[in-house]
Structure 1
């Protein structure tokens, strides 16, 4: 079994349909292909130095940012902004095919998650996998088996390198 494609938490196995492991090149192509890529960030977004700067760079590259909990505070301190909504509320609204999206201009076609507590992230991806046609991607440093796509289990330094690579490809 590949240790890089194993759930960080043993109880978060997903059954027969597991996430496809993606590296920065494939992840950037998936994000570019999406009409409305959206990134949900959580309170752990400030745990790694430089991670918030990568979120802002993704926003400048055209990724819509949704901040949960108090993570919006970190963005505001850096002079950036985001939509604010809870992870559970956003997940539930994404299961409603009639929901017009957080900005009223339509639902995202790719939902990415980073900096949210692992259990909540896994449940978000599980709900999306089982109750929507929405593609999802975990661009956190932990493999998430219920996402459509996920980074493998990686170190903080490699995580930042992956994000830099994606940002570079999105800005090109």
Structure 2
């Protein structure tokens, strides 16, 4: 049970909760069918796991599904050196723009159909997802962080770092296949 419980106990996510992504195959399929995808990442992307950095996994996922990356972290320069479709913007600013029906995205090519969150502080992601769940219901949200986010459309369950790294490795392999 603890694997699908949110970490912010005092906050009640309401009657709709995220569907748990148990397998990397499901995450890969969701991303492949996601339409225009925006990956929102924070300073947690600097985390170095046992095999590679979280940033490497994020860049691989973004390349595989042709996603745009939005970040305000210090990792922006590293991301921009590897991907052309990265923008420096506050995650909260993105959260305010997405519900606007006239906003044409960071590249001016139209609204995003799917948003992926990874590497942000838990409480910040919680707040952003709460807003999107209530005011941008047409946008599917996916949390790829290692802690369950009940306000997302889809979320990973609570995982230890080893499980999370295995999941990300398998996800990248499925997307590249």
Instruction: Give the TM-score category using the shorter length.
Output: over 0.9
> What TM-score, normalized by structure 1, do the two folds share?
0.92
**Does the residue aligned with 1:10 lie in a helix, a strand or coil?**
coil
Shift of 1:52: 1.0
RMSD of aligned residue pairs (Cα, Å): 1.5
Change (3 A) 1:168 1:68: same
User: In structure 2, the residue corresponding to 1:108 is in which secondary structure?
Assistant: coil
Q: Partner of 1:69 in structure 2?
A: 73
Structure 2 counterparts to residues 1-172 of structure 1, below 5 A? 2-23=1-22, 24-49=24-49, 50-61=53-64, 62-76=66-80, 79-80=82-83, 82-132=86-136, 133-172=138-177
Q: CA deviation at 1:80?
A: 4.1
For structure 1, the residue ranges without an aligned partner over 5 or more in a row are none
1:27: Cα distance to partner? Answer: 1.1
Where in structure 2 are there 5+ consecutive unaligned residues?
none
Provide runs of 4+ in structure 1 moved above 3 Å: 78-81
**Cα displacement (A) at 1:9:** 2.2
Query: Does the CA-based 8 Å contact 1:12-1:122 persist in structure 2?
Result: no
Secondary structure of residue in 1 paired with 2:10: helix
**Alignment length, in residue pairs?**
170
